[in-house]
Structure formats: structure tokens, C-alpha cells
Amino acid sequence: MSGLLGVGQSTLLAAYAQLQTTGHNIANANTPGYSRQEAVLASAGGQYTGGGFLGFGVDVTTVQRRHDEFVATELSASIASASADTARAEQLARVDNLMADTDNGIGVAVDEFGAALADLANRPFDASARQAVLARADALASRVQTADERLRQFGMDADDRIGQAVTTVNDLLVRVARLNERIAASAGAGQPPNDLLDERDRVLRELNGYLKATAWTQDDGTVTVFTAGGEGLVVGNRASSLASEPDPLDPSRRRVVMVSGATRLPMSADTLGGGSIAGLMQFRDQDLQAIRARLGQLAAGIASAFNRQQAVGVDAAGSAGQPMFALGAPGVLAASTNTGTATLSASVVDGTQVVASDYTIRHDGTRYVVTRGADGLQRSFASLPQTIDGLSIGLSTGTPSAGDVFTVRSATSFAAGFSGTLSSGARLATGYAASVERAASNAGDVSASGFAVDTPHPDLAQPVTLTFTSAGAFDVAGVGTGNPSGVAYTPGSPISFNGWVLTLRGTPQPGDRIEIVPTLDPAADNRNARAMGSLADQPLAGGASFVDAFAAMLADVGTRTQSARAAQSVSSRLQQDAEAAQAQQSGVDLDEEAARLMQYQQMYQAAAKLIQAAQSMFDSLLAASGR
């Protein structure tokens, strides 16, 4: 009877183990990261008798979890990708909302400034028209500066988020290392610690929300965790850590480094491979820098073009025009790792030639290698100063050493200091210092078809007389001209002296005169005001007009935002699919568990009946033997 009792007992224990495992599944049906468990049974074998082998019942060999390593890896990778795309898309959406403001945005300010200039060209004598231009110029500068400040704040927010994420990552890495230690200790018992394995998988999935972490399972049950670049984050019970620190190349920015002992390895969005940290870094270092550079390029084009036009005109009092706008100054930052004593400087030579980019300068021992950040274009020079893309870069003091690196903050620094500088509308240089007149006694039909000032000149207002000696030649008399004689005349060809450019048409007679005289009423002169108005249609901001440059910037922001949203949509869908596959493989189905519960309950009851039958048979035998 002991054999029958043993079979019943083993069956009872097996049913109990299955009931307990099912109950554990039901209890954790809504526990995040829980994998469904099942008791694994095996025959207990049998004993040979003359009538064959009689079985010993059943053994519970282990309790295993339903887990697919491939599905888990795919889920972790999809979480990393979706987290990166989501972080980037969320930040770009803020930029898109800022730049696309149709009521108070930069585009509206550019249009209003242009309209005020057109009105000024019609009424240069009107003080209110002059003041309106000044107000619109200040409003445009203010909106550009405010937009740049908001963009800079977005970068600081991204830095803060990265710092918070780094702290969380370090905590998760320590948890993985501790779980590795506990799992390795449990492995000595010969059975898998399923709940600890689930907890570790959940921590790894959470870790992938911040960076892409690839886990490789070792023979002792521990996992070695690597970054996308192959650097070890966790090895056994030892965890590396991340740190956020000032970038040696640019102390105004922060970088992420992996710290392992005495080694500090810089991490980029590519080496991180995914996760919210990579998405934030891509937004901060690529998207935001490009947008700020475009905004700075627009500011530089506007400031340089209008300041230059102001310089060639005169204001209402006849004084030389003063700058209309101020511009943020470019800066040069020396890397903290530099060993030389060199200090470099940068200044704007021509803001209309500025490229939407910053620059990196590396000294290789003999030459300066200048790399444009926007497209990677490299140029090398044996010495400084050099003019590059409207920017003059020079050596202020000291001597560079081989390997020294400098960062030139060019386009990204212009918008921060963009502001209006004129204190009164009367300071607007709407006119020219000189005018052209045709002598009343002229016998021919020669006349001026165009007159403009293109260069500031100290003798601009000095009287100059062109006296024709024949139909094809003239003499020049006046201060600053050199008084040349016999100058060839061709209708339509430009004649330039003292900073002005004159174009004549018609056929002169000998003795005919064209005179350049000081403007009598500068306040009523609108010639330079018309020239200012025409600046809006000229390619003065990266080869485009101001309106087109702003439209291109908006298009760039929109393209980046839509691309990020599309990537987020795709990666989120892939994550959902991976989660569904994980749930199908490892999730708890309460209906299925309920059915199994009834099955195991019946098995338990049957085992109890078997034991009861064995006991009854044993009692009958005892009674029959008289004992």
C-alpha cells in the first residue's frame, strides 16, 4: 500500500504546486513585468515487477516562467527607439509652436517693418512715419531676441532633463548589479529565481527608456549590460555610472560621460543608441543649434544690411546715418584641454555673408584647420587673421600648441544681442547727402537716369561738376575727385566719385554740365528710404531675402518636427507590437488560469481520493489479518 500512498502523495503535492503557481499568476496578473509561471512535472519512474513496471507517481521538477529572450530583446530595443523619438518630438513641438506664431511671431514683425518702410518712403518728412519705422524695428529686434532666449531656455531644459535622466540611470545600473548578485547566489540552489529574473528584466526595460542597453546572459544567470557602442555598463555585480559635466570644448554646454574606474568616456547620441537621453541630446546638439543658427543668420543679415544703408545716407538734420541695429558679438571659446597660450577673437565683417553655423578650429602644429559645423566643410590656413563666411577670425595673443581646439560661436550668438539702437525717428537716414542737377543752359538732352550712394565717403557732400567737352567725353572738377579730364562717356555706364554712383542717358553738347550738389532738404529726401525698402527683396540672409530666409527657417522647423513625429509614430507602434508579443508570450490570461485552477483542483481532489482509497484498503487488510 505504501506504493499507492506514495503515488497519491506525489500527485497531491504536484496538484498543490500547480494550484500555488496558478494562484501566484492570478495574484500578479496586473503586476508590471511579471511573466506567467508554470510548474513543470515529470514522471517519478517505476519499479519492475513480474507484471511489468509500476509507477511511483509524479515529481515537480521546477517552476519556470514563460519567457522568450528574443521577444524581450526586441521589446527593450523598441522601448529605446520610441523613447528617443518621443523625447525629440516633444521638444521640437515646443519650438514649432514658438516659431509658427502667426499673431506675434517674427514673420509678422518682418512684414510690419517692411510696410512701415514703404510708408516712410512716401512721407519722409512726417515725424510719425519715422517713429513708426523705429517702433517696428524695435519690435522686430525684440521678437528675434525673445525667440532666441526661448530657444536657449529649451536647451537649458534639455540639459536639466539629461541630468535627471543620468541620475535615474545610475540608480537603475546599481539595481541591476544587485539583482545580478542575488540571482547568482540563488543559482546555487539549482532552480531559477523567477521573480528576481522578472524584476531584473523590468529594470532593464526601464533602463532602455533612457539609453539603449543590450543584456547578455552569463552561465551563472547574471547579465552583462552594454551600451549601443559596446561599452560595459554592468559586469556581474559591478556597475559603471554616467555623469553630466561641462564640455571641455565648450564649457557653456554639458556632455554625458560614462565613468568606469578612472576612465571617463564621452557619450554621444550615436553611442547611446536610443533612449530619452539620446533624443534630448540630438534635439539640443543638432536641431536646436541649427534653428538658433538660422535665426542668428537672419538677424545678422538684417542688421548688416540696414546698418550699411544707414551709413550711406543722412538723417533729417543732414548728419551721417548711424547704425539702426546692434548685433550679438561672436565668441571664441578655448578648450579646457588646450596646452598653448593662444587666445582667438572673432568679429562680423559682413553679416549678409554669414552662414547658419558655428565653427571648430583645431591647430595641428603648423596650420589652423577650420571646420564648419553645419556641413563639415574644412579649410586650413597657415596664419590668422582670416575672413571666413563674413566672419573675421584672428589671433589676439599667445601661441597655439598642436592639438589645441577652439569653438567659434558665430550664428548662434547673433540673435541674443539683436536690438534697435536709434533713439529718435529723426535719426533715420532717409536721404542722400548729395543730389544731381542738370544745368539750365544745357543744349543737349543728357540727364541723370540714376543716382545712388553705395559707400560712406568724407567728400560725399562736396560739389562736383561734370563738363562735357564733346558728345563722348567730359571733365570732372570737385574735391576728392582728382579732377580728371577727358573721361569717356557712354550712356548708361556708371560714373562713380566720392562714394556716389551716377548713371546718365542722352546725348550731350559741348559745354553741357551735370552738377552734384549738397541736398537742400534732407528731411524731405526719400531716396535712401526707398533703398531701405528694396532691401527686403535682396538676397541678404544666406542668399535669400529676409522673408524667404524666415520662411526657410520655418520650413526647417516644420520638417524636423514632422519627421520627429513620424518617427515617433512608427517607433511607438513597434513598441506596442513588441509589448503585445511579450504579453502573448508571458502575460497572464485570467480565463486560462481559471480553467487551469479547476483542472488542478480536480487533480487535487482525485489525489485525495486516491490516498483515501489506499487508506481504506490498508485498513481492510489490517482487519482481515485480525490486527
Q: Are residues 45 and 129 in the same domain?
A: no
Handedness of CA 203, 209, 211, 212 (dihedral sign): positive
In a domain, 296, yes or no: no
Nearest to 34, CA basis, from 183, 223, 202, 213 = 202
Query: Is the pLDDT at 207 greater than 50, yes or no?
Result: yes
Q: What percent of the chain has pLDDT over 70?
A: 99
The cell numbers describing 176, all together, are 541591476
Give dist(CA 179, CA 191) in Å, integer.
16
Does a structural domain hold residue 323? no
Tell me which amino acid residue 311 is.
Answer: A
Answer yes or no: is 538 within a domain.
no
Residue 179, burial from CB neighbour count under 10 angstroms (0-12, 13-18, 19+): buried
Asked, for residue 322, whether it belongs to a domain, the answer is no
pTM over 0.85: yes
Say yes or no to pLDDT of 442 above 90.
Answer: yes
Which band of pLDDT confidence, cut at 50, 70 and 90, is reported for residue 627?
A: low
106 and 179, same domain (yes or no): yes
539 in a domain, yes or no?
no
Same domain, 122 and 191: yes
Q: What is the mean pLDDT of the chain?
A: 92
pLDDT tens digits, one per residue of 273-316: 999 999 999 999 999 999 999 999 999 999 999 999 999 999 99
Q: Which of 503, 518, 533 is the last residue of a domain?
A: 518
Q: What's the average model confidence in pLDDT over 77-94?
A: 96
Q: 385: cis peptide before it, omega within 30°? A: yes
| Number of compact structural domains in the chain | 4
Q: Whole domain around residue 461: which residue ranges? A: 434-518
One domain for residues 501 and 369 = no
For residues 244 and 247, give the distance between their C-alpha atoms in angstroms, rounded to a whole number.
9
In a domain, residue 272? The reply is yes
Q: 535665426: which residue's cell?
A: 295
Residues 91 and 235 occupy one common structural domain: yes
| 308-352 tens-digit pLDDT | 999 999 999 999 999 999 999 999 999 989 999 999 999 999 999
pLDDT score for 1: 45
Same domain membership, residue 351 and residue 384: yes
Is residue 143 located within the same domain as residue 90?
Answer: yes
Residues 490 and 359 both lie in one domain: no
Q: What single DSSP character describes residue 284?
A: I
Lowest mean pLDDT among 12-16, 89-93, 482-486, 505-509: 12-16
Residue 523 belongs to some domain of the structure:
no
> Does 321 reside within a domain?
no
Amino acid 622: pLDDT: 75
Phi, psi of 268 (to 5 degrees): -120, 175
pLDDT (0 to 100) of residue 441 = 93
Decide: 224 and 264 in contact? Cβ < 8 Å: no
pLDDT single digits (tens) 369-397: 999 999 999 999 999 999 999 999 999 99
Residue of 304, 312, 311 lying closest to 501 (CA atoms):
312
* 179 and 230 housed in the same domain: yes
Long-range contacts of 583-590, Cβ-Cβ distance < 8 Å, separation of 24 or more:
585/66, 585/67, 585/68, 585/71, 586/34, 586/35, 586/36, 586/65, 586/66, 586/67, 586/68, 586/71, 587/36, 588/25, 588/26, 588/28, 588/29, 588/34, 588/36, 589/36, 590/26, 590/29
Q: Do residues 81 and 139 both lie within one domain?
A: yes
Task: Kindly state whether residues 107 and 256 are assigned to the same domain.
Answer: yes
Task: Give the DSSP H/E element, type plus range, for residue 448.
Answer: strand 447-453
**Cβ proximity of 430 and 526 under 8 Å:** yes
The answer on 281 and 193 residing in a single domain is yes
